[in-house]
A and B are shown apart, each in its own frame.
Chain A
Amino acid sequence: MGIFKQAFTISKEEMLPYFYYLGATGLVGAVTYERIQTVFDSPKAFYTADAGKLEKTGLFTAEQITHFTEKKKEFNLFSEYERALKLGIKTLSVEDPEYPEKLKTIKDYAPVLYMKGSFPKEGVPYVSVIGARECSGYGSAVAARLGELLAAAGVAVISGMARGIDSISQIAALEAGGYSLAFLGGGVDVVYPRESRRLYEILSQRGGIISEFAPGVMPMKTFFARRNRLISGISDALCVVEAKEKSGTMITVDCALEQGRDVYAVPGRISDITSFGTNSLIRQGAGVVADLNAFVEEMLRTYGGPAFMTLTKGSKKKEPEEKYLENEIAVIRLLDENSFTADALSSTLKMQSYEILGLCMGLCDKGILKSMGAGRFVSTEEGILTRNKIVSAENEDEDLP
């Protein structure tokens, strides 16, 4: 990475619109950027150069030159830049001190980034939590818990705002009052997928949204693969929750390995296709996330500054031990990460359907279950913990002579 010769002869504010243009052309990657620097003194000089001058440099193909001049014609430099500023979108050039250090060092860095929101405070570890769009109940439970724990420990949770694992972990992180950062595959003003609108709003207030694509650019398949290198690039470590064998997540993992980032994976059942990717990562030597608390502590120890040496105990409120009725215990023993309908319990419980519904609603009040409507329920994190407690207590009883 070099810098323009004149970088500091004009003020930063004056130069930013030209950087904005540079990114908006969509043609300037790390290589082209450095080529431009060899010829032009500043992005402004590049902008003002006409077709003849560009051709003389011998750096660009005829097609590229037409594209640059076309773009210039349809592009009103200052009004576009002003509009972006009004939307709260900052332009970050790679020469900007605010530009994340870790992203400067990757091979194909993005010369210009557009950003909404803000970066976390200095010294915070960055851990990305990524995974499949179509995740299982297990995957979404783990992602939510992981996002929450990382956020509570003060770690920045990085992801791509995609459906499934990405957005679940980010929502959990923000709800726990933590910080999260999303990299998009389109302009930062384009909410994609649409159902992530709420997450998007919160991110632009309490987190950050970054893209190398200019505002207004619609997301495209190839863009997602490109932005994945930024997710891994900014992260200290990458945690894969669920992934199919060939997926965008695995592209991110490849980027991470190339960039020398640590990769962790959450083991899954060998029969689920969303486990094939993660389990094969483990076989290849990725870190195993067997205990979420331990994982978070490891993250703090390894990447956190002295301020993060110990796990900042979250505001886990200790409630008095709940007492459960016999029937309730029977239900709790049957819980797993998958949702279930009340009818599924009827053969075990030998109760009337409405009694089972009542029982389940009672457990909802106690925080064990969550009602999903249409007679379907899903266990909460606490439900699983309670089940583990009950089952292990019973095993101890059996061990007694």
Chain B
Amino acid sequence: MVYKVYSGRVGGVFGDLITVEVDVSAGLPGTEIIGLAGSDVKEAKDRVRVALRNSGVNLPAMRIVINLSPADEHKEGAGFDLAIAAALLGVMGKNEFFAPEEALVVGALSLDGKILPVSGVLPIVRFAKERGFKRVIVPKVNAKEASLIRDIDIIPMDTLSDFITYLSLPFGEKKAAFPPFKSDGGDPFENTEGEALDFSDVSGQDTVKRAAAIAAAGMHHLLMIGPPGTGKSLIAKRIPGILPPLTYEECLEVTSVYSVSGKLNGKTPFMTRRPFFGPHHTASPQAIVGGGGDARPGLVSLSHRGILFLDEMTEFKKETLDMLRQPLEDGEITVSRAKKTYTYPAKFMLVAAMNPCPCGYYPDRNRCMCTDGQVSKYLSKISGPIADRIDICVEVSRMDLKEIAGGKKGLSSAEIAANVARAVKIQGNRFAKETFKYNSLIPSSKMEKYVPLSDGERDYAYSVYESLKMSTRAFYKMLRVARTIADFDGDAKVTKKHIAEASCYRFPEYMGG
């Protein structure tokens, strides 16, 4: 006799169906789990047996074979425990009202029968909805995270004995006894507690602040160059505060990544804020791009839709920086390990900070005593492909003490955020029919369409191109930034002043721009 229950797992950030089949037959008593199960899955047989006994159900002394299909794919984790328990109960005839083909079951078990949270619930629930399942049984702790997916019943379960009760209830009574989870906090997106850092804390540095705001508005990658202690990190940390709030779709994407990396808990069931990561420059390439035995997402994926801040960018190993090439180019990263190849999303905004030379004063030759060799060696670490991706580059200079003492406050984050939000909205309307949503992603083939220039402006742009001896790529970068500046200032047309300002933010000449 065979009983089937459906469960799920994640591959990358996508859910995947696992069928748990249980057969009970006469023979030597014993339990076996087959279907390329990892050792943590194999151990489920003891966890499930003990948990069931502690919840009042004894397994029959018969030969039990549990198969996880598809049988040719490696499986890991304790997330199938609950599904295995459900299938065992089913084979014993205790699931007459369950309708296993309509439900997907996830959850780990402890020996005392408590249902424990698992990682990757969100992608699994998302998958369940796409596959047409009507309800998902999830651990209670994961319910809030799962509730991000709308129009599917999320049934939270706390203990195995609850689950046994649930299984035995007739259909009519199930809903009353175990109502589907409803988020109690109203709209989850209102949840924005926690002190945000404000731009008004940074005195002076107007150009840098404006450049950061423009970068945020068009999702342009930003590089800040300046001596240590001038406020580069201070500014970088404030950029998430001016980015537009996550949309529902974006929230799902971000939460999925966090879900599979097991970074969610009861306190933060899902991501409502844009992530910000500032890895130390000694971080290993695996930590940044992802990896490890089970090919986990790295920081580039954890900062998806948020900010990856590389402080002291030149101190990073060249190999580490070069690994950013794929995510910067494609917005995703493919991590391959012995058994798996996963693709994780990695659409982050790169914010980098660096000194212009080992001593920090270059190109001020009156103070910088570094040799040219030292400087070029220092700068060569971020050569070519990475530099090409950086649209906005700005110098952070040492502040006049007068100005700091004067306490000249710039715009607050809220004011900047309003401008950014407006710019993002304009872009959203402009690119409604496109796959990209930001000016920074306009392909060069569509420049004419989205950054139309009148004759006067075009002549001016060409004269800038000529006089600054730009490359074609740099020229397009300048136009994209000009488009964003116009959006940021609320101007419908890109004019000379926008192009002029954009040209100031280009990669500096002394760095081979």
Do the beta carbons of B393 and A344 come within 8 Å of each other?
no
Q: In the complex, A353→B403 CA distance in Å?
A: 14
Interface: A293 (CB within 8 A): no
- Flag A170-194 by CB within 8 Å of B: 1 or 0 each: 0000000000000000000000000
B-side contacts of A353, CB under 8 Å: 206-207, 209-210
Using A163-B372, A164-B372, A347-B403 as known contacts, say yes or no to A376 and B207 having CB atoms under 8 A apart. no
Q: Which of B26-34, B259-267, B394-402 contacts A (4 or more CB under 8 A)?
A: B394-402
Do the beta carbons of A357 and B372 come within 8 Å of each other?
no
- Flag A152-165 by CB within 8 Å of B: 1 or 0 each: 00000000000110
B-side contacts of A339, CB under 8 Å: 363-364
Q: In the complex, A247→B395 CA distance in Å?
A: 32
Using A341-B395, A375-B504 as known contacts, say yes or no to A133 and B210 having CB atoms under 8 A apart. no
Using A358-B501, A373-B507, A373-B508 as known contacts, say yes or no to A343 and B208 having CB atoms under 8 A apart. yes
Do the beta carbons of B363 and A346 come within 8 Å of each other?
no
B-side contacts of A135, CB under 8 Å: 365
Q: In the complex, A234→B98 CA distance in Å?
A: 101
Chain A min CB distance to B234 (Å): 15
Please classify the interface of chain B as helix (H, G, I), strand (E, B), loop, or mixed, using the class held by over half of its residues.
mixed
A-side contacts of B510, CB under 8 Å: 372
Q: In the complex, A162→B380 CA distance in Å?
A: 20
Q: Which residue of B lies closest to A351 (CB)?
A: B206
Chain B min CB distance to A185 (Å): 16
Q: In the complex, A212→B373 CA distance in Å?
A: 26
Interface: A338 (CB within 8 A): yes
Interface: A273 (CB within 8 A): yes
Q: In the complex, A353→B225 CA distance in Å?
A: 17
Q: In the complex, A92→B272 CA distance in Å?
A: 77
B-side contacts of A372, CB under 8 Å: 363, 508-510
Interface: A280 (CB within 8 A): no
Do the beta carbons of A373 and B207 come within 8 Å of each other?
no
Chain A min CB distance to B323 (Å): 25
A-side contacts of B257, CB under 8 Å: none
A 119-142 contacts with B by CB, 8 A? 133-140
Q: In the complex, A140→B209 CA distance in Å?
A: 32
Interface: A356 (CB within 8 A): yes
Interface: A361 (CB within 8 A): yes
Interface: A290 (CB within 8 A): no
Max count, chain B CB within 10 A of own CB: residue among A137, A361, A376: A376
Interface: B506 (CB within 8 A): yes
Using A137-B366, A358-B500, A358-B501 as known contacts, say yes or no to A341 and B397 having CB atoms under 8 A apart. yes
Q: Which residue of B lies closest to A273 (CB)?
A: B369
A-side contacts of B395, CB under 8 Å: 341, 343, 374-376
Chain A min CB distance to B466 (Å): 12
Do the beta carbons of A374 and B503 come within 8 Å of each other?
no
A-side contacts of B247, CB under 8 Å: none
Chain B min CB distance to A163 (Å): 5
Interface: B371 (CB within 8 A): yes
Do the beta carbons of B501 and A357 come within 8 Å of each other?
yes
Max count, chain B CB within 10 A of own CB: residue among A133, A347, A357, A364: A357
Do the beta carbons of B206 and A374 come within 8 Å of each other?
no
Interface: A371 (CB within 8 A): yes
A-side contacts of B393, CB under 8 Å: 373-374
B-side contacts of A101, CB under 8 Å: none
Interface: B428 (CB within 8 A): no
Using A357-B207, A371-B468 as known contacts, say yes or no to A133 and B364 having CB atoms under 8 A apart. no
Chain A min CB distance to B186 (Å): 40
Q: In the complex, A136→B509 CA distance in Å?
A: 16
Q: Looking at the complex, which one of A136, A139, A140, A361 makes contact with B500 (CB distance below 8 Å)? A: A361
Chain B min CB distance to A219 (Å): 14
Q: In the complex, A362→B506 CA distance in Å?
A: 17
A-side contacts of B397, CB under 8 Å: 341, 343-344
Do the beta carbons of A354 and B507 come within 8 Å of each other?
no
A-side contacts of B370, CB under 8 Å: 134
Interface: A61 (CB within 8 A): no
Q: In the complex, A339→B91 CA distance in Å?
A: 81
Do the beta carbons of A375 and B207 come within 8 Å of each other?
yes
Q: Which residue of B lies closest to A361 (CB)?
A: B500
Chain B min CB distance to A335 (Å): 15
B-side contacts of A376, CB under 8 Å: 363, 395, 508
Max count, chain B CB within 10 A of own CB: residue among A140, A342, A353: A353
Interface: A201 (CB within 8 A): no
Q: Which residue of A lies closest to B375 (CB)?
A: A134
B-side contacts of A273, CB under 8 Å: 369
Interface: A352 (CB within 8 A): yes
Q: In the complex, A134→B507 CA distance in Å?
A: 22
Interface: A360 (CB within 8 A): yes
Q: Which residue of B lies closest to A353 (CB)?
A: B206
Q: Which residue of B lies closest to A269 (CB)?
A: B366
B-side contacts of A373, CB under 8 Å: 393, 504-509, 511, 513
Do the beta carbons of A374 and B505 come within 8 Å of each other?
yes
Q: In the complex, A177→B107 CA distance in Å?
A: 80
Interface: A298 (CB within 8 A): no
Q: Which residue of A lies closest to B207 (CB)?
A: A353
A-side contacts of B223, CB under 8 Å: 374
B-side contacts of A364, CB under 8 Å: 467
A-side contacts of B210, CB under 8 Å: 353-354
B-side contacts of A341, CB under 8 Å: 207, 395, 397
Q: In the complex, A146→B364 CA distance in Å?
A: 22
- Spell out A's residues near B (CB within 8 Å): 133-140, 163-164, 272-274, 338-339, 341-344, 346-347, 352-354, 356-358, 360-362, 364, 371-376
Given contacts A137-B366, A347-B400, A374-B393, 19 further A-B pairs with CB under 8 A are A134-B370, A139-B365, A274-B365, A341-B395, A343-B206, A344-B397, A347-B402, A353-B210, A354-B485, A354-B501, A360-B504, A371-B504, A372-B363, A372-B509, A373-B393, A373-B505, A373-B507, A374-B225, A375-B208
9 inter-chain pairs at a CB distance below 8 angstroms, sorted by A residue, are A134-B370, A346-B403, A354-B485, A356-B207, A371-B468, A375-B208, A375-B504, A375-B505, A376-B363
